Amino acid sequence: MPNSRSYIWFQNRLPASTIIRGCLALLAISGVVTTSQAAPQIKNVNLRGIQSGGTTVLAIDGEGLTSDTRLVLGLPVAAQNVKPSATDRRIEVELTLPEKVPSGLYLLRALNADGVSNGVPVGVDSLSQSVITDRIETLPAALTGSVSGDQSTRATFVGKKGETITVEIEARRLLSELNPVMHLYDARGVQVAWAQSDRRLAGDARLTATLAADGEYTVEVHDALYQGRSPGYFRLKIGQFASADMAYPSAIKQGTQALVQLLGTNLDSDTKIEVQAPPAPRFFPVPGSESLKLTGIRPTLSSSEFDEAVEAPSTSGDLQTIAVPSGIHGRLLTRGEEDRFRITAAGSQKLRLEVYALRLGSPLDAVLTVYDTSGKNVLATNDDQPRMSDSALDFTAPADAKDLVVGLKDLIGRGGGDYVYRLTVLPQDRPDFSLALADERVNVPRGGRALVRVAVERRGYNGPIDLSFDGLPPSIAVENAQIAAGNNIGLVLLSGSMDSGDHATVRLVGRATEPPSTGDVIRTAMLAPNPLTQQQPWLREEIAVALAKPAPLQLAWEPATTSLPLGDKLSSTVKATRAAGMTGAVRLSLVTTQQPPKKTIKENNQDKQVDDVGRTLRLEGTPAIAADQTETVANTIVPADLPEVTYGLVLRGELLSADGKQVVATAYAPVLSARPARPVSVALSSAETIEARAGLGETGKFTGSIARQAGFNQPLRVTLEGLPAGVPSPFADVAADANEFELAVRLPHGMKAEALKNVYLVAVSLASPGDLENAVRTNRVPVTLNVVAGEKPPAEPPLRIFEDEEEFANSLNQGGGQVRLEGGQKYSGAASVRVTPDQRFNPALPSLGVKIRKDPGAGEYRYLRFAWRKQGGNQICLQLNHDGAWGPMPGGTGAKFRYHAGPGDCFGASLRVNPRVPNRMTLVTRDLYADFGEFTLTGLGLSPIDGQFALFDHIYLGRTVDDLDSVKPEK
């Protein structure tokens, strides 16, 4: 059985928002509506129930409902006939079902040459079906009605004294918005019984009453708050009928048989049925029985990977023992009862104990407790999990433990025959994964492809996952049926033959291709849960697949290589084949298995996580194939820091109408599976360990070579990563036409003499200096630095730009903000510079006009130090005027000459020194040469950008960091 935290009994740890918005969403298309080749759509059904062994006339409202439409239900249909009055928006169908079909809630779909529709839940049973009327002539009966707002509806029937009547409403389970309340009145108008929303019925209601006298009785239905939302349809069942709500036990070891007891309304207490569990883990419904005339849900069972025991009475007083992993099923039959079991757990073993009760439909509000071997000392306890009353415990057994005792009771001491539970005991480190789907149906064009997107949540298993479709028709083939190792998204293409239409209800199954020692891991992909599938979770596994009309567009692409060049572009030739008579441009977009990385931005002064598009695989621009052309070239941008795993890429083409406002057809090119490739690498020719001088004196150096792939001709910077915080990284620049390097390593004076390990030599592209965060990077070579003491370098006083000088503030004479000295908030000295948005600046400050150099001489500098603080807003920025200009060089590439803190970029191009805005005085030290190269610094701009104001203080230039350190802040 799959890991209980994600698979067993309805709980899924992949929320729909993560599945759909995060992993699976395609790029949004603004202002374009898809209208052509639309599959049928069901919007409403006049009856929410179908009679078995009889004929039900269904009126279907929707779109794309052609006269050749037929209904499919997931069970045999004896006959169906579409009446001649059919239109594309409404059809009437006479549907006849065999008598011996299992009752339950099913998904009704419409099928025609354009494909298969969405599924609409309906009930199937032997009850007569009709629209609700004021008076019911015969019982039992099932009536379809609708209420919304403050409406109510009534139905009257004739009852006999002593007769037991059950009234049940199916609304939430049919995905209605109605929050139902029912009343049963006698002929005098006196309330006999009433019922409201019951969580065990997924929010629906049921009552049973014994009638006190002959006469008329009335059932009234309304919304609980008289504020019912639409749609408010319901199916009201009245009369004598039986329903099975739970099965006990609820799980059976895969491939084995078990005798299962059915618990429900009007069922004998010994109603049992023999069940054969499937050979692989999955959900499945209790099989139908000719002897049982049931209505309502079909209790769901699961086939389990491990042993499933049933609580056994003990005459000796010894506790029943359960192994790890396993499950055990029990019932709290009496009030105040606590069931106890012994667990054979090894010392220090990490366990996951979980109770399933509410998720089975049980009224039990479980409390789970772990005791020591004696059963007297409590080691851990839990009442509720987040957002549910079923308890669970992640627990580490004591180091000396050989076994433990686990106890389970009801929170308020209740009990009874329906207080059933399932307790699972699993190791926490058990490798596992779960699969999730966003779409309940897939329409595959004949001769074309359809895309199925799968999200993966991995827990201890990071290998490949093979995918297969159970029940797929032979006319539909599968392409790219594997999720690569490390991927959390899978892209599967279904391709259709040119055969006549075909359809099936299928399951998508994933199997770990590198099984752990604990055995195979096999999981079924699940749709997002709803009130129906919470009670019938096997419906979450059902995907409707159908062949549809041939697509008027075919798409193919020929990438220049099967690898993804990091920090570069993958060029592809894209070819479109349009059907005869079809014209229009083809717009292209890219779907990948990359889970978009996130970044934090400020929105309404609050941190917000958004997709970091700049670090995402994507097409360059908005490529399209013009209406009079059949091919084009599309470039895929490959981020420099793309993790090195295998990715799937699918090119999507949309054939547009002549005015470009509608999508006529969609086509997919085959999946490209590719791994990132580094266009450049670095290797050492020197030893991996050197002596690094901390101060003046001879120091060690690394030498080596650069290996460039064809076409990569960018300059590189060889540097070290992993040095202690605050230690500037030495570097050596390598020209675009050079392939050898020499990196001398000199460290700041005063560093402790020790061996620095976990240091790496790496080369980084200098195509965009100051943007090394997104630059192409080589492999990392591990190195070791043996730090040795050196002589202290002579200090040279740094250049003081601002430390309390009012003249500096006055010289910032341009910009839309206000500037003044602020004495109350400062880093050092007596005052800071206070600037209000947007900024104050001067491109030619009297104190500047100094050269920034790699090896500064007299009057030249390399390092900048300043302090800043921001009050409100999202950004703070310090701008450097270089040789009379602000910002990047013409063309938008190269050094940015700005520093900022906060999300985004300052004025479109800036080097970010901190992702968060400093809310207190924060000291910043920067290597100007490393960030921007050699230039002449002529002016400064102090830019709060937004918010209330910013403070700047302690602004100095120095040849070395030691020079800057020689200036002690004046407090």
> What distance in Å separates the CA atoms of residue 866 and residue 560, rounded to the nearest whole number?
48
Closest CA to 187 of 214, 154, 168: 214
Q: Which strands form 680-684's sheet, in the order they lie side by side?
A: 680-684, 701-708, 740-744
Whether the Cβ atoms of residue 639 and residue 615 lie closer than 8 Å to each other: yes
113-122, 245-254, 400-409, 719-728: segment of lowest average pLDDT: 719-728
Q: How does pLDDT run across 839-893, given as a tens digit for each residue?
A: 999 999 988 989 998 888 888 999 999 999 999 888 999 999 998 889 886 554 5
Closest CA to 486 of 599, 612, 647, 637: 647
The distance of Cα 790 from the centroid of its chain, to the nearest Å, equals 54
Q: What is the pLDDT of residue 290?
A: 66
**Alpha-carbon separation of residue 388 from 259, 334, 359, 385, 884 (angstroms):** 29, 24, 9, 5, 64
> What distance in Å separates the CA atoms of residue 639 and residue 657, rounded to the nearest whole number?
34
Token pair belonging to 867: 């302090």
Token pair belonging to 776: 């192409």
Report the first-to-last Cα separation within the chain, whole angstroms.
66
Pairing of strands 338-343, 320-322: parallel
Q: What is the pLDDT of residue 771?
A: 56
3-state secondary structure of 66: coil
Sequence-distant (6+) residues with CB within 8 A of 857 are none
Q: How does pLDDT run across 749-764, given as a tens digit for each residue?
A: 888 999 999 999 999 8
Q: Which strands form 378-382's sheet, in the order they lie side by side?
A: 320-322, 338-343, 404-410, 366-371, 378-382
Sequence-distant (6+) residues with CB within 8 A of 466 are 481, 482, 510, 511, 513
Token pair belonging to 529: 């849960």
Q: What is the pLDDT of residue 905?
A: 81
Q: What is the pLDDT averaged over residues 530-539? A: 91
Taking the CB of residue 816, how many other CB atoms lie within 10 A of it? 9
Sequence-distant (6+) residues with CB within 8 A of 2 are 8, 281, 305, 432, 434, 521, 523
Q: What is the pLDDT of residue 894?
A: 61
- Neighbouring-strand partners of residue 491: 453
Cβ-count burial 70-93 (b if 16+ within 10 Å, e if not): bbbbeeeeeebebeeebeeeebeb
Q: What is the pLDDT of residue 30?
A: 31
Closest CA to 283 of 16, 15, 14, 526: 526
> What distance in Å separates the CA atoms of residue 403 and residue 419, rounded to the nearest whole number?
27
Token pair belonging to 33: 């509506």
Pairing of strands 164-170, 205-210: antiparallel
The one-letter code for the residue type at 482 is Q
Instruction: Please give the residue that has the higher pLDDT: either 954 or 32.
Output: 954
- Neighbouring-strand partners of residue 840: 942
3-state secondary structure of 958: strand
> What distance in Å separates the CA atoms of residue 562 and residue 570, rounded to the nearest whole number?
9
pLDDT over 90 (residue 602): no
What does pLDDT average to over the chain?
A: 89
Closest CA to 588 of 574, 578, 568: 574
Token pair belonging to 666: 């969609």
Long-range contacts of 157-162 (CB under 8 A, 24+ apart): 157/216, 157/217, 157/219, 157/238, 158/214, 158/215, 158/216, 158/217, 159/211, 159/214, 159/215, 159/216, 159/217, 160/211, 160/214, 161/211, 161/212, 161/213, 161/214, 162/210, 162/211
Pairing of strands 251-253, 432-437: unpaired
Q: How does pLDDT run across 924-963, given as a tens digit for each residue?
A: 999 998 888 889 999 999 999 999 999 999 999 999 888 8
> What distance in Å separates the CA atoms of residue 95 and residue 89, rounded to the nearest whole number?
19
Whether the Cβ atoms of residue 861 and residue 847 lie closer than 8 Å to each other: no
Q: How does pLDDT run across 689-741, given as a tens digit for each residue?
A: 999 999 889 999 999 999 998 778 889 989 999 999 778 888 898 998 999 99
Q: What is the pLDDT averaged over residues 173-187? A: 97
Q: How does pLDDT run across 789-815, given as a tens digit for each residue?
A: 999 887 788 999 999 999 999 999 999
Whether the Cβ atoms of residue 51 and residue 45 lie closer than 8 Å to each other: no
DSSP 611-648: E-GGGS-EESS--EE-TT-SEEEEEEE--TT--SS-EE
Taking the CB of residue 291, how many other CB atoms lie within 10 A of it? 6
> What distance in Å separates the CA atoms of residue 84 and residue 91, rounded to the nearest whole number?
9
pLDDT over 80 (residue 22): no
Q: What is the pLDDT averaged over residues 282-298? A: 85
| C-alpha neighbours within 13 Å on the C-beta side of residue 869 | 17
Token pair belonging to 920: 């207190």
Q: What is the pLDDT of residue 518?
A: 58
Closest CA to 677 of 559, 557, 567, 560: 567
DSSP 318-367: PPEEE-SSEEEEEE--STT-EEEEEE---TT-EEEEEEESGGGT----EE
Q: What is the pLDDT of residue 206?
A: 96
pLDDT over 80 (residue 46): yes
> Which residue in this structure is represented by tokens 């109603």?
271
Backbone angles phi, psi at 929, to 5 degrees: -70, -45
pLDDT over 90 (residue 520): no
Q: What is the pLDDT of residue 640?
A: 85
Q: What is the pLDDT of residue 173?
A: 96
Cβ-count burial 112-129 (b if 16+ within 10 Å, e if not): bbbbbbbbbbbbbbbbbb
DSSP 810-821: HH--BSSS-EEE
Q: What is the pLDDT averaged over residues 363-372? A: 95
Q: What is the pLDDT of residue 379?
A: 94
Q: How does pLDDT run across 95-139, given as a tens digit for each residue?
A: 999 998 999 999 999 999 999 999 999 999 999 999 999 999 999
The distance of Cα 52 from the centroid of its chain, to the nearest Å, equals 41
Closest CA to 667 of 20, 23, 34, 31: 34
pLDDT over 90 (residue 672): yes
Element (H, E) at 945: none
Cβ-count burial 725-741 (b if 16+ within 10 Å, e if not): eeebebbbbbeeeeeeb
State percent of the chain over pLDDT 70: 94
Q: Which strands form 553-559's sheet, in the order they lie side by side?
A: 553-559, 569-578, 631-637, 618-619
pLDDT over 70 (residue 240): yes
135-149, 245-259, 277-291, 371-385: segment of lowest average pLDDT: 277-291
Under the banding of pLDDT at 50, 70 and 90, the label for residue 16 is: very low
Q: What is the pLDDT averaged over residues 207-214? A: 96
The one-letter code for the residue type at 568 is D
Token pair belonging to 47: 């009856």
pLDDT over 80 (residue 607): no
- Neighbouring-strand partners of residue 610: 599
Q: How does pLDDT run across 305-319, given as a tens digit for each residue?
A: 999 999 998 777 789
6-10, 590-594, 622-626, 902-906: segment of lowest average pLDDT: 6-10
